[in-house]
Structure 1
């Protein structure tokens, strides 16, 4: 965002931005129209110069503005070379200054399309019409969108509905893995392209038809990605955890036995209950080999068969089970009689 300068400093800056010609004529040129201070057009132009709200439009520079005395005698022609200079110039205008834009003026759209206008009314209409469609124009490149999708797991919201414990994992090989509502796994493919300056994401998932199709990126921010398809709106919010295994660790667990047989039944899930298991699955195994091969999982209600005994814990990503780590629980039963 461009910084608003105090008014007393604006006049000083003019010498850096404008070339003025002191000429005198008898009337306003037919190709110029008065720009009224604080009018709708004045405010629209100011907004473009500030790059606020209407940030998908720009002017082709240089522009020239004619300055007149109260009797419409031309005193100056100001040449403006960029947005900063335009905003600074507008801040010096007030109801006592008569200024007019010199047409034609060219508006430049994000796809490099140019619109030439020849009057105040045409300029105001073009800014209003094109400005109203700004929200439909993505301010991200294809690379930006692809990186956003692949950087982290994505939490989806479609038409206002956010399925519980659901995330999408967009992979570099154009595959997608989805954990849906905590325990359902889906697979699909995705792709991305740019057409006429607009970025589109293609999604195909067997069994989740609501997410399928050609989605146009209409908003791209650090917090969320907004896509549209017909009347549907799909939001992706990143769920970034650089190490989903960071909460898990090797555990030494001592349990008390009251009947002197040194055999105790306890719940294994309670040992990692504070760890987020929405994006990882946890299984328990009697040997390291079983954990590595993901076979013969134990039930969470476990009774030791030796004392001490080591249990092997496999923690794997739901989105890609080939990514996993193995931790140990060393159980020691003590006689408490």
Structure 2
């Protein structure tokens, strides 16, 4: 009899503990509120697109905006072997291409390689045919694609999920794009998720924006779609001048003598061989004179101006008699190498590069 009473008391105690824990759990379970979103919500789709892995940074190698090649890899740029251990080695490839202005740049990849797709899945490719087939699934150069690149999340982001069927409650602290992508990808139709606000995002101009609600976050992402240059072209490092300063450019241009045209491409035609002996000297008063190598007397003269900052520095040069050079060019790169300083400009697909042996 005593044993029965003890057993009954024990069962009652267990039941009370269970009810107590279930009541405590029910307090933690989140219901739909202003911080909740579901798998089919517009915000979930926007967040997923924002976390897609951008594959355009290595386009000089693969020309595929939705693929990223894992390092190290071995390539042959114009027949020259380059071991690419990191993105820093892309500049070596760029210099090889830049030094061969015959419009026949070639890139050969040594297989096998492993690539990461925009959904973070990894694929091993054993030959060029396999690579070409996968790369063909990407959008082309500067075509509209799904990834939103003009805004990024600042991590960590804390989320909680309640499944309305299993009544299971989970809480996670997400540390990067992949974890947030996987979190949304694994959403079930009967999941409700809450985000802990504030959530901070950073725009392409490095401005940080703090959002305090689902509506603010959705509005910020929506307004950031296609408002910046996503750099989905195949011209590697055409944004080298993101930190260029106008005065730095002017000082270099006027401080060095005898600039030569190292590259001039107009309408896909290479014209730099027309100017092998021309020397350009730029004065601080906005004038430019052109002489022939070994002959100090100017044969052409004109004017120049420069305005803007960063990637938007415009170089306006006008020389009577040199219509191919006269144009409003955009500064794209300043490469300071003792004995071979270079300044690069572009105008759509046209290219101009000055080079000087200035020390």
**Superposed pair shares fold, TM > 0.5:** no
The structure with more helix, counted as a fraction of residues: 2
**Greater C-alpha radius of gyration:** 1
The structure with more strand, counted as a fraction of residues: 1
Q: Please, what TM-score do these two structures have when normalized by structure 1?
A: 0.42
Q: Please, what TM-score do these two structures have when normalized by structure 2?
A: 0.40
Q: Which has the higher contact order (CA 8 A, sep 6+)?
A: 2
